[in-house]
A and B are shown apart, each in its own frame.
Chain A
Amino acid sequence: MDKLIAVIKREYLERVRTKWFIISTVFGPVFLLAISVLPGLLTARNIRDTQLGAIEILDASGIGLGDRLAAALRTRTPNPITLTPGRRDSALTAGAPPVNATVRVTTPSELAQAESVTTHAVIASTIRGYIVLDSASVTTGKARFAGRNTGLGEVGQIESALRSAIIMHRLALAGIVDARADSLTRVRVDVTAERLSEKGRGDSGLAGLIFGFLIAFLLYMMIILYGQNILRGVLEEKTTRVAEVVISSVSPETLLAGKVIGVGAVGLTQQLAWLTFGGLLSLYGLGAAATMGMNVTMPHVTAFQVVCLILFFLLGYTFYASLFAAVGAMCSSQEEATQAAQPVMMLLVASIILVQPIMATPTGTMANVMSMLPFSAPIIMPLVMASTDVPAWHIAVALAGLVLACVGAIWVSARIYRVGLLMTGKRPSLRELVRWVRYA
């Protein structure tokens, strides 16, 4: 036991002391924040930049549809692009600002000439673009927009404005006065998703999903980062030949266990630092949101879920860590190891690739199967559990399978480790590996 502690201590302290660890712990959250928030910010900024400025409406409809369209554009229209579903009224999803549109009424025969004039105006940048309405627009809903920028945001904004313009026209035809029509058509639509569980408690389904995805992603990252870390550690012991001294004092099994636990503790330390940082940040964010009158629902997490999460994480990490250790033990160079680690990586990547489809249908067959298979369960099950109520027996099967897989992986890896640590030269073939495992 003292020896195990000595190994754990070394693995832990030597890693925590490195510059790499300190830098990644400090800058990890900054980096994560950057990749998760920056694209959204940039898009929002872009939308504001490309909002429709002065545009011209060439109205050949003959019924004054252009005026109605200009009026509709002048009022704030809801932005058709939703950046972050579920969050409403935030700065990012606020309706686009009003558009200053001037109407030029033409006849169908003069349209071509008028269009060439406005085209020049667009090229000369005196206006941003123009919309062409013809006599059919009111019935077909079709119109043309030509401008410097024809991004989805702009076109969407015009489309919704045109829709309301046509509706207003039809209402007018039906004898409803404009003021009344305006109040009739002004509808704000917002669908919030609510998850119902057996306990009848509801929470934001989306928040749960995002939470699940976050967990899956964290687990995946952790396993990849620290699994590779173990592989490198084993390889170092092999290539520097320090392994023989160490295993003359401790059994290879103890060394393997110490390594897995020590490196796992490093990972936990880092995650804890990140979570603390993230927690503080989201508390601050929630506070800010509350002062702005926003209603943000936090995902509801039960103690049972937390226990399951920790179990899946620990078992999943152990499973992959021992596989990576075995890979390290049978290679003698970094290049070789990268290659030999591919099958293990494939298992992981397969799990993370399926995250998106499973998020879409968390109760589907794929979700059911993948959440119970040992190699994908650590990543998929927490994800599924966060988005839907998983039958208890599913969780039990997944955990039992994972425990068995862990025992198997540790057993096989310890044997490969025992033989491989002292082997140099050629990487063993699959057949030789089997022999190692049988005779170790």
Chain B
Amino acid sequence: MSDLALDIRAVSKRYAEHVAVDTLSLAVPRGSVYGLLGPNGAGKTTTIRMVLNIIGPDEGSVTILGQPNTARSTTDRVGYLPEERGLYKKMQVRRILRFLAALKGVAQREADRRIDAWTERFQLRTAEKDWTAAKVDELSRGMQQKVQFIGTLLHDPDLVILDEPFSGLDPINAQALKDAMVELRQRGKTIIFSTHLMDNAERLCDSVCIIARGRKVLDGTVAGVKAEHGVQNIALGVGGGRDRVAERLRANPDVARIDDQNRFFEITLRKGADPQALLRDVIASGTEVQRFELVQPSLHQIFLEKVGATGVEPGMTGHG
């Protein structure tokens, strides 16, 4: 049994006008939360659709939980929440959930039991109102999103793939979704989600992969990525004479870049430079130092640095 939940080997997908995914390889270990990061149009959704065998790759292969994704039973172990969400509007919530479960081979009795548990948890079934008896179009947008998420999990999948799961969610629902993801992870499930919001990825992911223009830019554990690709930054807060300090910092040959964040300066040092030397220099200038902190680089910064302005191909729109 493979210890990889997902193993993508050199898949490519070309369309008439452009290359959506270009010889992309990914390895997602079992039991991890994996972030697929990239700007809009980077090829995230195309990659996910190839994983689920919704579209076939031009080249390459995809292995899910040790089995090729073209095998019929393989995708039954995957739960998928697409970016573009939707349900049959005129259908009763319980019936649509039963249908989604049946598509994954869950018997109705078992499906009903799980529907009860999940809808209670997501407050779709409370003492006052049982929304599972309502039709989908009677539900609010947020409730529909919850129904859709429940539909993704009814067959207790080993691998859950969520495409932009947080888009369009209010903070309360986003929190509920995050909690559910963490719980799934604790139960040994593998979760892959795509996002262009780095904050979410940084908080949730064990590992990430950044893709841009259909190619992999970097991947690895979040800590590893930070260690390898991050540049150590310094946050410097001073009591007074900001302009004088800024001038002095710019003159310092060790400083590669300063970013005035209003309440503090974010300083990037040149490679090999010693932060302590900088601190001594600032103190020597007679400025009152209120804050001096070695900051872990954020995924956001790494993303900006690696993908930059070139990450999005001009004229390319649509799905990531």
Contact = CB atoms under 8 A, between A and B. Distances in A.
B partners with A: yes
Interface of A: 2-3, 6-7, 9-10, 13-14, 18, 236-237, 239-242, 244-250, 422, 435
A150 B170 CA distance: 78
Given A2-B105, A245-B151, A249-B75, A236 B88 contact: yes
A241 B54 CA distance: 14
Interface in B141-171: 148, 151
B99 A241 contact: no
A242 B103 contact: no
Best-buried of A7, A9, A240, A244 by chain B (most CB within 10 Å): A244
Interface stretch (B60-68, B77-85, B180-188, B201-209): B77-85
Contact of B86 (A3, A14, A241, A422): A241
B100 interface: yes
Contacts of A13: 95
B104 interface: yes
Best-buried of A14, A241, A242 by chain B (most CB within 10 Å): A242
B284 interface: no
Contacts of A244: 54, 82, 84
A241 B85 contact: yes
B148 A248 contact: no
Contacts of B78: 248
Contact of B87 (A6, A9, A240, A247): A240
A128 to B, nearest CB: 60
B135 to A, nearest CB: 11
A426 to B, nearest CB: 13
A241 to B, nearest CB: 3
B104 A249 contact: yes
B82 A245 contact: yes
Contacts of A240: 86-89
A237 B99 CA distance: 14
Contact of B80 (A242, A248, A250): A248
Contact of B148 (A2, A9, A245): A245
B54 A6 contact: no
A246 B84 contact: no
Interface residues of B, number: 28
Contacts of A10: 95, 99
Contact of B103 (A3, A14, A236, A422): A3
Contacts of B76: 249
A2 B99 CA distance: 11
A250 B103 contact: yes
A2 B102 contact: yes
B210 interface: no
Interface in B223-257: none
21 contacts: A3-B105, A6-B102, A9-B99, A14-B90, A14-B91, A14-B95, A239-B86, A240-B86, A240-B87, A240-B89, A241-B84, A242-B87, A244-B82, A245-B82, A245-B100, A245-B148, A246-B103, A248-B82, A249-B104, A422-B55, A435-B16
Given A240-B86, A240-B89, A244-B84, A422 B54 contact: yes
A3 B49 CA distance: 20
Contacts of B55: 422
A248 B52 contact: yes
A241 B82 contact: yes
Contacts of B90: 14, 18
B32 to A, nearest CB: 21
Contacts of B52: 248
B42 to A, nearest CB: 18
Contacts of A245: 80-82, 85-86, 100, 148, 151
Nearest to B163: A244
Nearest to B152: A245
B86 A242 contact: yes
A240 B90 CA distance: 11
A247 B99 contact: no
A240 B82 CA distance: 12
A249 B75 CA distance: 7
A242 B88 contact: yes
Nearest to A18: B90
Nearest to A247: B54
A249 B103 contact: yes
B88 A248 contact: no
A249 B151 CA distance: 12
A244 to B, nearest CB: 4
A248 B100 contact: no
Contacts of B105: 2-3
A256 B151 CA distance: 21
Contacts of B89: 236, 240
Contacts of B102: 2-3, 6, 9
Contacts of A3: 102-103, 105
A422 B48 CA distance: 13
A-B pairs with lowest CB-CB distance, top 3 = A241-B86, A6-B102, A240-B86
Given A3-B102, A6-B103, A241-B82, 20 more contacts: A3-B103, A3-B105, A6-B102, A13-B95, A14-B88, A14-B91, A18-B90, A236-B88, A241-B86, A242-B86, A242-B87, A242-B88, A244-B54, A245-B82, A245-B148, A245-B151, A248-B52, A248-B82, A249-B103, A422-B54
Contacts of B82: 241, 244-245, 248
A3 B84 CA distance: 23
Contacts of A249: 75-76, 100, 103-104
A239 B85 CA distance: 10
Contact of A248 (B75, B85, B95): B75
